[in-house]
Chains A and B, each alone.
Chain A
């Protein structure tokens, strides 16, 4: 009983508290850098596309709004032939960013994505790809991976020995 009265009193006392609402759009809010807004595809420090089209983002997406097709250039580097996000379905959960092994897909603090035509919410690769590395400036997946690509032969990645000479019997 007393707790009820106390509750009523606490609520009443809020009559004189400051209001916390930010009067958007009159006042522009400052979003934290890890806010989960518009999704972008980033590039690695050398300026090449980071996405290797591993399909993990599309697999983890709970609303299945990511579709892509893998392709490979003549030197063995993988990239998405197309990469489509249907933002009219996206729930900005950030699972795709969590799943991405190459830091390619990232969520940004931009949330102002309203459109009058729903079709305009379908973003293709050219809409998603930005020219920088986003939140993770130094990372380059292919420096860690074992596959050879143009400009990086076998054994040239980080922490790799030069390729084995199969014809040698030396220990």
Chain B
């Protein structure tokens, strides 16, 4: 009985933490970007502007939620839900500490890859159902981009899996007791980070929304809370990818002195910061450059990485 209660508490806790972090990022991203641009960012509502999050939430809930008359209603409503849900579902497998995880799947990595591809559906459907040329273009781009980078993302993780000998994220963390995988799998980390940017369609790889050419891409026609779900869904993806980088390459909860939860959170926040730093620094490439980068650089790189890792693992056996 207490097992069930504990389990439920874990679920609620992870869910609450994920949503809080995602919502907090609304404020956090703006503050960080401002910091790097020598500005203040939101600093008027509450201490350090923290209550800006509350203001934004109130605003987004009370805004007119407009469904264009030319949209495919059912799909239009469903799409942001898919994005949002797919973002949340990955949190289930994250091993926050040896004890805290919603579920310990022995195919955790595969599960993550599967669910994150599901998120692409939301974006494609949103673009399609809006019946607007900008949205459709955004949706198409999202589909192609996510499919492409899915490949490298999967491949880049295989090195980690090979060394750890398991798909279970907990086991992978434990395998890093002596050496974090960021060292032997440096190229894997690099590719995974870039693929993560593309998966979350974060700038510089935010071509599906690229506001300067497609207005707002697949969510041009969205407003109110439906737009809010896309918005928060994006922050959820950032959080998930950051947490996974911490888990897969930087030893997850492992670390001296401080308790494991703190280590895990700390690492995750650093990588979230990294994501925002990328946005603050890099301009958006052209669409063909994005695809070329994927197929011409990242694919050979991952394959090479895989080959060498495989060879070393074989040799070490």
Q: A11–B38 contact, CB under 8 A?
A: no
Q: Please, which residue of chain B has its CB at the minimum distance from the CB of A23?
A: B40
Q: B36–A21 contact, CB under 8 A?
A: no
Q: B281–A7 contact, CB under 8 A?
A: yes
Q: B36–A11 contact, CB under 8 A?
A: yes
Collect the chain B residues with CB atoms within 8 Å of residue A14's CB.
35-38
**Chain B, 35-56, contact with A by CB distance < 8 Å: what is the 0/1 string?**
1111110000000000000000
Question: Given A12, A18, A20, A23, which contacts B36 in the complex, CB threshold below 8 Å?
Answer: A12
Q: A15–B281 contact, CB under 8 A?
A: no
Collect the chain B residues with CB atoms within 8 Å of residue A11's CB.
36, 277, 280-281
Q: A8–B281 contact, CB under 8 A?
A: yes
Does residue B282 face the partner (Cβ distance < 8 Å to A)?
yes
Collect the chain B residues with CB atoms within 8 Å of residue A19's CB.
34, 38-40
Collect the chain A residues with CB atoms within 8 Å of residue B280's CB.
11
Q: B35–A15 contact, CB under 8 A?
A: yes
Q: A21–B40 contact, CB under 8 A?
A: yes
- Give me the interface of A with B, judged by CB distance under 8 Å: 4, 7-8, 10-12, 14-15, 17-21, 23
Q: Please, which residue of chain B has its CB at the minimum distance from the CB of A15?
A: B35
- Apart from A11-B281, A18-B38, A19-B34, what are 5 other A-B pairs with CB-CB below 8 Å? A8-B277, A11-B36, A11-B280, A14-B35, A20-B39
The count of A-to-B residue pairs whose CB atoms sit within 8 angstroms is 32
| Distance in Å: Cβ of B271 to nearest Cβ of chain A | 14
Question: Given A12, A17, A18, A20, which contacts B277 in the complex, CB threshold below 8 Å?
Answer: A12
Collect the chain B residues with CB atoms within 8 Å of residue A17's CB.
38
Collect the chain A residues with CB atoms within 8 Å of residue B282's CB.
4, 7
| Distance in Å: Cβ of B60 to nearest Cβ of chain A | 25
| Distance in Å: Cβ of B277 to nearest Cβ of chain A | 6
The B interface, classified by DSSP as helix, strand, loop or mixed, is helix
Question: Bound complex: CA of A138 vs CA of B277, how far in Å?
Answer: 55
Question: Bound complex: CA of A11 vs CA of B280, how far in Å?
Answer: 7
Question: Bound complex: CA of A4 vs CA of B194, how far in Å?
Answer: 13
| Distance in Å: Cβ of B289 to nearest Cβ of chain A | 13
**Chain B, 280-303, contact with A by CB distance < 8 Å: what is the 0/1 string?**
111000000000000000000000
The A interface, classified by DSSP as helix, strand, loop or mixed, is helix
**Chain B, 245-284, contact with A by CB distance < 8 Å: what is the 0/1 string?**
0000000000000000000000000000000011011100
Q: Tell me which of B38, B39, B40 has the highest count of chain A C-beta atoms within 10 A of its own C-beta.
A: B38
Question: Bound complex: CA of A4 vs CA of B281, how far in Å?
Answer: 8
Can you list 13 A-B contacts (CB < 8 A)? A4-B281, A8-B277, A8-B278, A11-B280, A11-B281, A12-B36, A12-B277, A14-B36, A14-B37, A15-B36, A19-B34, A19-B40, A21-B38
Question: Given B35, B38, B278, B281, which contacts A20 in the complex, CB threshold below 8 Å?
Answer: B38
| Distance in Å: Cβ of B196 to nearest Cβ of chain A | 16
| Distance in Å: Cβ of B148 to nearest Cβ of chain A | 20
Q: Please, which residue of chain B has its CB at the minimum distance from the CB of A16?
A: B35
Question: Bound complex: CA of A3 vs CA of B220, how far in Å?
Answer: 33
| Distance in Å: Cβ of B202 to nearest Cβ of chain A | 15
Question: Bound complex: CA of A22 vs CA of B296, how far in Å?
Answer: 47
| Distance in Å: Cβ of A7 to nearest Cβ of chain B | 5
Q: Please, which residue of chain B has its CB at the minimum distance from the CB of A8?
A: B281
Question: Bound complex: CA of A4 vs CA of B36, how far in Å?
Answer: 16
Question: Bound complex: CA of A58 vs CA of B261, how far in Å?
Answer: 67
In order of increasing CB-CB distance, the 5 nearest A-B pairs are A11-B281, A7-B281, A14-B36, A11-B36, A8-B281
Q: Please, which residue of chain B has its CB at the minimum distance from the CB of A6?
A: B281
Collect the chain A residues with CB atoms within 8 Å of residue B281's CB.
4, 7-8, 10-11
Question: Bound complex: CA of A65 vs CA of B37, how far in Å?
Answer: 36
Q: Please, which residue of chain A has its CB at the minimum distance from the CB of B278?
A: A8
Question: Bound complex: CA of A4 vs CA of B282, how far in Å?
Answer: 7
Question: Bound complex: CA of A151 vs CA of B34, how far in Å?
Answer: 61
Question: Bound complex: CA of A15 vs CA of B41, how far in Å?
Answer: 13
| Distance in Å: Cβ of A12 to nearest Cβ of chain B | 7
Question: Bound complex: CA of A10 vs CA of B34, how far in Å?
Answer: 14
| Distance in Å: Cβ of B212 to nearest Cβ of chain A | 19
Collect the chain B residues with CB atoms within 8 Å of residue A10's CB.
281
**Chain B, 3-43, contact with A by CB distance < 8 Å: what is the 0/1 string?**
00000000000000000000000000000001111111000
Question: Bound complex: CA of A17 vs CA of B38, how far in Å?
Answer: 7
Collect the chain B residues with CB atoms within 8 Å of residue A23's CB.
40
| Distance in Å: Cβ of A113 to nearest Cβ of chain B | 21
Q: Tell me which of B34, B39, B281, B282 has the highest count of chain A C-beta atoms within 10 A of its own C-beta.
A: B281
Q: Please, which residue of chain A has its CB at the minimum distance from the CB of B283?
A: A7
Collect the chain B residues with CB atoms within 8 Å of residue A7's CB.
281-282
